[in-house]
Amino acid sequence: MMMINPPIRCPSPLHHRSFPSCFALAFFNRSLSTKSVFFGETPSQRLVKVRCQAPGSDHGSVPQRSVGYAESNPSVGSANSPSVIDFLTLCGRLKTTKRKGWVNHGIRGAESIADHMYRMAIMALIAADLPGLNRERCIKIALVHDIAEAIVGDITPSDGVPKEEKSIREQAALNEMCEILGGGMRAEEIKELWEEYENNSSLEANLVKDFDKVEMILQALEYEIEHGKVLDEFFISTAGKFQTEIGKSWAAEIILRRKSLSAERLR
C-alpha cells in the first residue's frame, strides 16, 4: 500500500506592515559647509539615531528583530550593522569633499580627500620593502590619516588655523566618528593608526608622511599639465621635508619630470 505523507503546513505570509527598524539614519543641514561644532559654529551634517517601536507595542519597549551572524558571534566584529552603515555614510563625505588647496587655486573638478588617500594607499602597496617595515600597517595608516576631515573638512595653512588647534579639532572629530562606529576593537585601531601618523611615531608613519607629500606634488604636476597653471608653492612647501629614501627618490623623479616639461615649453 502506498504511504502518503501528510501535507506540510507552511506559515502564513507576513502581513504588510511598516518596517520596524530599531534604527533610522537622518541627515540634517546637508547643505551646510564642512565647518563643524569644533569651529564653534553651527554643526555640519550630523547623524541622529532614532528608536522606533513596532505597531501595537507598549511604550518604551524595544521591538524584536532577527540577530545577524556578526551579532550572534561577537568575535566577528565589534560594531553592529547600523553603526557600521552610519560610519560608512559619514565616510562618504570624504568622496565628495574637495581638497581645499586645489580649490583655492581655481582647479575645476579638483580631487577629493578620498582620492588623495586612495593613491597614498596604492603607494604603500607598491613601495619597495624596507627592513622592519609593516606594509599592511602603512596601507591602513594611509586610509585613515585624513579620516577626521569627513567632519572638520580640509584645513589648510591658508585657513590660518594653528597646527595645535587643527590637531585638537581633528582629534575631537575622530573620537566622534569612532563613537558612531560603536567603539570596540576596530574603532580603537583607527584611533591608534591616526595618532601614530599624527605623532610621526614609527617608520610606517614616516613613510606615509612622505607619501602624503609625494601624492600632493604629483597631483600638482598633473594639474599644471592639465590646466596650464604654475603651482610652485606645493613644491616649495615640501622641499627638504622627505624622511625616507623612498620618499626622496619618488619626489626627485616628479621634480625631474617637472623640470623637463618646463624646459620643453621654453623651446
pLDDT at 133: 97
Continuous segment of H or E residues that includes residue 24: strand 24-28
Q: Check whether 235 has a pLDDT greater than 60.
A: yes
pLDDT at 73: 52
Q: Check whether 237 has a pLDDT greater than 80.
A: yes
- Contact yes or no for 183/157 (Cβ under 8 A): no
Per-residue pLDDT tens digits for 47-68: 444 334 444 444 444 444 444 4
pLDDT at 267: 77
Task: Return the sign of the alpha-carbon dihedral for residues 161, 165, 171, 177.
Answer: negative
C-alpha cell belonging to residue 199? 605623532
* Best CA proximity match to 245, nearest among 203, 215, 216: 203
| Mean pLDDT, rounded, for 237-251 | 97
CATH class of segment(s) 24-53+81-266? mainly alpha
pLDDT at 233: 96
* Best CA proximity match to 141, nearest among 191, 103, 184: 191
| Mean pLDDT, rounded, for 151-162 | 94
Higher pLDDT, residue 266 or 18: 266
Continuous segment of H or E residues that includes residue 186: helix 185-198
Higher pLDDT, residue 36 or 74: 74
| DSSP classification of residue 49 | E
Per-residue pLDDT tens digits for 67-116: 444 444 544 445 699 999 999 999 999 999 999 999 999 999 999 999 99
